[in-house]
Amino acid sequence: MLNKLFLCCLLLVILSLLGIILNRKNIIITLLCVEMLLLAVNINFIAHSLYLDDILGQVYAFFIIALGAAESALGLGILISFFRVRQSMTLNFVLLKH
């Protein structure tokens, strides 16, 4: 059971890192990949918590979920204001210093 959870975590980490590295155009997909990375960390904490019969990993997972929600809200707010100014959400315009 524990090996399957760790394999799932490893798959999520690899997919999210590939999404962050290979995606150079869409900011929303980059934010989703960061959320997938946080999900992999949460699954890892909960698996260790169940294996060690300790609640501390579940508490950490709860705080990471709250951190991810705040990060998503802040990121989407910045994207909305950026879209209002530039009328585009591609990453190429973000990297330009105009």
Residue 37: predicted pLDDT: 93
Structural domains of the chain sorted by starting position, each given as residue range(s) with its CATH number in brackets: 2-95 (1.10.287.3510)
Assess whether pLDDT exceeds 60 at residue 67. yes
Using an 8 Å Cβ cutoff, are 40 and 12 in contact?
yes
Q: What is the CA radius of gyration of the chain?
A: 17
Question: Once rounded to an integer, what is the mean pLDDT over residues 55-73?
Answer: 93
Question: Once rounded to an integer, what is the mean pLDDT over residues 71-96?
Answer: 78
3-state secondary structure of 26: strand
With 0-12 CB in 10 A as exposed, 13-18 as middle and 19+ as buried, what is 56? exposed
Write out pLDDT tens, residues 15-53: 999 999 998 778 888 889 999 999 999 999 999 999 999
Instruction: Look up residue 24 and give its two tokens.
Output: 């150079």
pTM of the entire predicted model = 0.80
**Res. 95 pLDDT band, cuts 50 70 90:** low
